[in-house]
Amino acid sequence: MPPAKKRPRSYDFSRTRTAVLAQFGHVQDAVRALTPEQLALPGLGEWTVRELAAHLTTALEQVSRSMELPAPTGGPKPEITLLQWPSSTARNAAGTAGSTQALAADRPDLDALYEETAARFAELVPADGAERLVATRAGTMRLGDVLVTRTVELVVHTDDLHRATGLDIPYDRQALAACTRLLADALADRAPGGSVEVRVPPFAVVQCIGGPKHTRGTPPNVVETDPLTWIRLAAGRTGWTQALESAQVRASGERAELAHLLPLMG
């Protein structure tokens, strides 16, 4: 009999909305300080830093555009759940590259683009709209769930921007926590079970992978890492072996192996 899946974690909508705007503000401050030479540096894949910075605005703008449209019809049940979202990102990657390069070319004044994006989001996304359904590239989702996915987009790309430029960009604690928890829960959803405990202090602890279930005392199979390393693993920014060899991940027990489950996002 397959392991039972736990009830999905709940997120406070108002706090998540505030966290999204706060993290976006941290990124805007960093982008405002970039020199032309830094903006021309390699950013992510084939993108320059300028293109990466422009792409970051789409994390909010996609939600704003969805809110300008009528709510999707067909009943209250979403087409895609929050825990299914990380796996869906690979399907949308190909169409993102061209649109990002076009956006960066059309909007050379990045500060103005950030100001406009934040203002539209604050105006169009209500503080009490968690249950409203919105259309996304992945399918119809609850607005509350969509905002949690925005913390992932913002935190992952904040880290990309940091690694490309060397800038120390702050992380809003609530945004970092929501991102970490969603990706940990997505792992447990992908490989349900109780034989391995994955710890990402101070934000998340989940059990996953089928096998003998741990009930008390010290678990025999433990994986532990910090939030940013976990996020890089889940987003495919670093590899399992690399993280182990650099002591960014500690794994104990014969089942404490996650390489076959990562990355969670495309």
Per the structure block, which two tokens stand in for 171?
């992380």
Q: Where in the chain is the domain with CATH 1.20.120.450?
A: 13-173
Does the pTM surpass 0.85? The reply is yes
* Ranges of CATH 3.30.1050.40 domains, the chain: 191-261
**Residue range 165-176, pLDDT digits in tens:** 999 999 999 999
What confidence tens digit (pLDDT) does each residue in 103-159 have?
Answer: 998 999 999 999 999 999 999 999 999 999 999 988 999 999 999 999 999 999 999
At the fourth CATH level, which superfamily is domain 13-173?
Answer: dinb family like domain (1.20.120.450)
- Least Cα distance to 19 among 168, 150, 209 occurs for 150
Contact 157, 59 (CB under 8 A): yes
The span from the CA of 67 to the CA of 135, in Å, is 9
**Does domain 191-261 bear CATH number 3.30.1050.40?**
yes
Return the half-sphere exposure (C-beta side, CA atoms, 13 A cut-off) of residue 114.
20
Say if residues 178 and 146 touch (Cβ distance below 8 Å): no
